[in-house]
């Protein structure tokens, strides 16, 4: 799924998921460091795009609160500034760390039909 996201969505998603892990107390030192790195890179991108550093940090913090309008504001600013390769790579790294640390299931099934993932699920399929 990470490979299918555009760079801006990838970065915003990584920031939000990294903040959630930190708030939940499930973040490892590697995750915290990766999150801090991504956050610094994003603030730098926004600053180079004309947003003051304090405003950039505030946008990231507000987006991490989960409010749709706050993440939309960050998304808009990132779209205007553009996402560079180091920032995109930092977002991918953070999401990979989060997935490997907390994932119960790791599924790659691009051609699956009638796929269900989870515990204690029941599914009945009829394919014609």
Q: What pLDDT, in 10s, does the model give residues 72-86?
A: 899 999 999 999 999
Q: Which domain holds residue 75?
A: 2-98
Alpha carbon distances (Å) from 15 to 2, 7, 37, 123:
13, 12, 10, 34
Rounded Cα gap, residues 64 and 80, in angstroms: 20
Evaluate if residue 99 carries a pLDDT over 80: yes
Residue 55 per-residue DSSP state: H
Evaluate if residue 108 carries a pLDDT over 70: no
Residue 25 per-residue DSSP state: T
Looking at residue 62, its pLDDT comes to: 87
Looking at residue 122, its pLDDT comes to: 78
Higher pLDDT, 94 or 4: 94
Domain-embedded: residue 104? no
Give the chain's mean pLDDT: 83
Domain-embedded: residue 78? yes
Domain-embedded: residue 103? no
Domain-embedded: residue 121? no
Asked if residues 14 and 91 have their Cβ atoms less than 8 Å apart, the reply is: yes
Looking at residue 71, its pLDDT comes to: 85
Distance of CA 87 to the CA centre of its chain: 12
Structure-block tokens of residue 21: 């892990």
The number of domains in the chain is 1
Looking at residue 55, its pLDDT comes to: 92
Domain-embedded: residue 42? yes
Domain-embedded: residue 120? no
Helices (H), the chain: 7-24, 29-48, 53-64, 68-81, 85-102
Domain-embedded: residue 75? yes
């Amino acid at each position: 799924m990470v490979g299918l996201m555009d760079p801006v969505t990838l970065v915003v998603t990584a920031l939000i998921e990294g903040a959630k892990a930190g708030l939940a107390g499930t973040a490892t030192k590697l995750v915290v460091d990766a999150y801090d790195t991504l956050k610094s890179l994003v603030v730098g991108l926004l600053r180079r795009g004309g947003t003051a550093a304090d405003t950039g940090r505030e946008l990231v913090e507000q987006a991490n609160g989960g409010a749709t309008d706050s993440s939309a504001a960050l998304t808009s600013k990132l779209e205007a500034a553009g996402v560079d390769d180091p920032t995109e790579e930092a977002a991918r790294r953070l999401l990979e760390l989060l997935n490997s640390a907390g994932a119960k299931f790791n599924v790659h099934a691009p051609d699956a039909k009638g796929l269900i993932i989870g515990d204690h699920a029941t599914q009945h399929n009829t394919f014609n």
